């Protein structure tokens, strides 16, 4: 029975470590975005007191020394055009939410999702397949070159190490 309890504890530790890693993924960009989730929406906002969509996007990229304009339509002129099926973490995704061309931007975070400042919910992560955004999707742009992508948007080994340490600690409780 004790062995079963220890095995269950080890399993919980592993699940917790990977669940935590998924919610606060392991890349540097994910860490910045995770800190900003829940920040309120503010028209023209460019600080942690409140963001609009382009202010949020520019703020995240500025954390890595990459300057972007404070306009979703101007951002859509930067970088390289990317097909939706070729999206990778850190790519910018653009939407026509106003009926007058590109008017919303977000940062692709993987698994078919993007982080953005929503007028109603503030900084959130939303599925590209969300009914509202799916029909308003316009294009995507790749701002990060391969080197910057590897440093900023790729999951860092520390997350895997955290999971292994948690599993080892749980197994170490066996006496």
Q: What is the mean pLDDT of residues 127-132?
A: 98
Tens of pLDDT, residue by residue over 5-53, are 444 334 333 333 333 333 345 899 999 999 999 999 999 999 999 999 9
Contact 89, 27 (CB under 8 A): yes
- What are the tens digits of pLDDT across the range 81-91? 999 999 999 99
Higher pLDDT, 129 or 155: 129
If you average pLDDT over residues 52-58, what whole number do you get?
A: 98
The pLDDT value recorded for residue 158 is 55
119 and 85 in a single domain? The answer is yes
- Please say whether the beta carbons of 115 and 102 come within 8 A: no
What domain range is 21 assigned to?
1-25+155-175
Q: What is the pLDDT of residue 21?
A: 35
Three-class secondary structure of residue 50 per DSSP? strand
Are 3 and 73 in a shared domain? Answer: no
Task: Return the structure tokens found at 167.
Answer: 């599993």
Alpha-carbon gap, residue 57 to 70, rounded angstroms = 9
Could you tell me if 168 and 103 lie in one domain? no
Chain mean pLDDT for the chain: 84
Q: Do 106 and 175 sit in the same domain of this protein? A: no
C-alpha span between 165 and 158 (Å, rounded): 10
Give the Cα separation of 153 and 127 in Å (integer): 18
Q: Are residues 106 and 93 in the same domain?
A: yes
Q: How many alpha carbons fall within 13 Å on the CB side of residue 113?
A: 11
161 and 140 co-located in one domain: no
pLDDT exceeding 70 applies to what percent of the chain?
74
Distance, CA of 156 to CA of 144 (rounded, Å): 17
Question: Is the domain of 31 the same as that of 83?
Answer: yes
Q: Which of 13-22, 62-71, 124-133 has the lowest mean pLDDT?
A: 13-22
Tally of structural domains, the chain: 2
pLDDT tens per residue, range 117-127: 999 999 999 99
Choosing from 82, 116, 142, 152, the catalytic residue is 116
Angle at CA of residue 131, ends 73 and 46, nearest 5°: 35
User: The pTM is what?
Assistant: 0.77
42 with 119, same domain: the answer is yes
Which one is catalytic: 25, 29, 53, 152? 53
Residue with tokens 């002129």: 77
Of 92, 104, 108, 124, which is the active-site residue? 104
- 53 catalytic residue (yes or no): yes
- Residue range 99-114: mean pLDDT, rounded: 98
- What's the confidence (pLDDT) of residue 18? 34
104 in catalytic set = yes
């Amino acid at each position: 029975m004790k062995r079963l309890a220890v095995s269950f504890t080890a399993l919980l530790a592993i699940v917790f470590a990977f669940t935590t890693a998924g919610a606060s993924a392991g890349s540097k960009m994910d860490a910045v975005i995770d800190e900003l989730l829940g920040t309120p929406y503010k028209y023209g906002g460019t600080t942690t007191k409140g963001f609009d969509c382009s202010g949020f996007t520019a703020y995240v990229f500025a954390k890595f020394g990459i300057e972007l304009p404070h306009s979703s339509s101007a951002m859509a002129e930067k970088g390289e055009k990317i097909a939706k099926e070729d999206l990778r973490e850190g790519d910018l995704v653009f939407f026509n939410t106003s009926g007058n061309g590109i008017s919303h931007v977000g940062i692709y975070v993987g698994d078919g999702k993007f982080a953005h400042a929503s007028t109603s919910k503030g900084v959130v992560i939303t599925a590209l397949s969300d009914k509202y955004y799916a029909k308003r999707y316009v294009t995507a742009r790749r701002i990060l070159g391969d080197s910057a992508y590897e440093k900023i948007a790729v999951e860092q080994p520390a997350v895997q190490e955290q999971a292994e340490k948690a599993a080892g600690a749980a197994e170490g409780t066996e006496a």
